[in-house]
Amino acid sequence: MLVVMTHNATAAEIEAVCATITSMGYTPAPMPGAQRTAVGLVGNDGRVDDTLIAELPGVAKIIHVSNPYKQVSREWRPENTIVTIAPGVSFGGEDIPVIAGPCSVETEQQIVESAILVKAAGAIGLRGGAFKPRSSPYSFQGLGKKGLELLALAKRETGLAIVTEAMDDEGAHLVAEVADCIQIGARNMQNYSLLKTVGRIGKPVLLKRGMAATIQDLLLSAEYILSEGNPHVILCERGLRSFDSASRNLFDLTAIPVVHQLSHLPIVADPSHGTGRRDKVMPMARAAVAAGADGLLIEMHPHPDRALSDGAQSLNGEQFAELMHQIRRVAEAVDRQIAGSIAAVA
C-alpha cells in the first residue's frame, strides 16, 4: 500500500502517517519526491485496512498496489529509478552504458588486455567472472579470489567500473569488496537467501533473468533485494531456454518494454548469452538499444578461440569496436546516447 501525501503536507503529518503504520505492525518507507512525498507500507501480505490512515491530515490518496511485487512496481514509484554503480556509470537515464569483457577472468594479461580494448572502444564498465556457474563440474570454475584481485588490478589500470558474479553468500561479501556492481546470474535468480544477502550488503546488483523465469518471477526476485533495503537493482534480459537449437537461448526483447511498463527499475540486455553465437550478437545489440535497453552487457575476449568459457559468443576487440560504432547510431535514432561515447570518440 502506498500513502500519497498532499504536495504541502508537513513533516509532522508525514511523521504521523509513519507512526500509524508502525502501530499497525507494518514498516513505513517514506519516499520524498519532486512533487510530493509518498509513504510506502511494507511487510503486508494481502490488502491492508486503510481506515486509520485515510483520515489523517495531509493524506491525498491511498493506492493499493495490486501486483504481488510492490516496491519494484511503477505504481509504487512512477518515475524511473537511476542506478549509479560508479561515478558517471548510471543505468535508467538517457545514457546507455556498455559493460563488456570476457565471460571469465583467466589471466592478468587477458583481463588487462580486455579492459584496455573495451575502454578504447567506449565501454565504461568491465565484466568478467571470478566465480563461474558452469553446467559441468569439470569445466573451468573461475579463478575465485585470485580473479577478484585481477579485476581490482584492471580497475586500477583503466578506471572501468567492475561487474562480476557472486554465487553464494560468502562470495557475495568477497565480490562486494572489489565490484561496483554484484551480478546475480540466471541460475541464481531464485536463490532467495543470496538475494537477501545482496539486499543487505546494499551495493548495486545486476539481476539476470533465469532461463525459465517469467517476467513476474524476475520482478519478485528483485523485490527480495528491495525488501532488504537495497533499491539499487538493474534487471537483465539474457535469453530463455527454448526448443530451438538455432540459437543458444531465445532472446526475449519484449521483456524490455514490458519491464518498463511494470517497473521503475532499469533493464539491460545481454545479447551474448541471449544468442550464444558471435555473429548474432551485433544485430541483437542493435535491436536491444532500439527496444529501449538501459545498458548492454557484452562478452568480449582478446582471443575468443582460446577462451576458457563462452568463446563461441565472445567478440574480439575489433568486432566489439564495430558493435560500439553501430549501437551509437541506433541510440541516436531513438534519442538516446551511448554513455561515455563522446569522450571515446573525441
Find the shortest distance in angstroms from Cβ 187 to ligand PEP: 6
Binding test (CB under 5 A) with Mn ion, winner from 106, 180, 294, 310: 310
Q: Rule CB under 6 A: choose which of 155, 260, 273, 280 binds ligand PEP.
A: 273
Binding-site partner at residue 186 among Mn ion, ligand PEP, none, CB < 5 to 8 Å by type: ligand PEP
Separation of alpha carbons 161 and 159, rounded Å: 7
Q: Which of 99, 103, 282, 291 binds Mn ion (CB under 5 A)?
A: 103
Select from ligand PEP, Mn ion, none the partner in contact with residue 58, using the beta carbon and a kind-dependent cut-off of 5 to 8 Å. none
Least Cβ distance, residue 82 to Mn ion (angstroms): 27
- Distance from CA of residue 212 to its chain's centroid? 18
Grid cell, residue 8, equals: 504541502
Give me the 129-168 binding string for ligand PEP, x by CB under 6 A, dash otherwise. Answer: x---x-----------------------------------
- Residues 29 and 42 sit within 8 Å (Cβ to Cβ): yes
Residue nearest to Mn ion (CB): 103
Nearest 5 degrees, angle CA 207-CA 208-CA 210?
125
We find the least distance from the C-beta atom of residue 24 to ligand PEP, in angstroms, to be: 40
Would strands 98-101 and 296-299 be described as parallel, antiparallel, or unpaired?
parallel
Q: How far apart are CA 93 and CA 90, in angstroms?
A: 7
E strand residue ranges, 228-333: 233-237, 267-269, 296-299
308 binds, among Mn ion, ligand PEP, none (CB under 5 to 8 A by kind): none
What angle separates helix 108-121 from helix 317-333, to the nearest 10 degrees?
Answer: 30
- Per CB under 6 A, does 208 bind ligand PEP? yes
Q: Report whether 334 contacts 289 (CB < 8 A).
A: yes
Q: Interface mask (CB under 6 A) for ligand PEP, residues 70-109, using x and -? A: ---------------------------------x------
Question: x/- site string to ligand PEP, residues 113 to 132, per CB under 6 A?
Answer: ----------------x---
Is beta strand 2-5 parallel, antiparallel or unpaired with respect to 59-63?
antiparallel
The piece of 64-72, 135-143, 151-159, 180-188 that touches ligand PEP (CB under 6 A) is: 180-188
Direct distance between the N- and C-terminal alpha carbons of the chain, in angstroms, rounded to an integer? 49
Torsion angle, CA of 150/152/153/154, rounded to 10 degrees?
A: 90
Enumerate binding residues for Mn ion (CB under 5 A). Answer: 103, 310
Enumerate binding residues for ligand PEP (CB under 6 A). Answer: 103, 129, 133, 185-187, 208, 238, 273
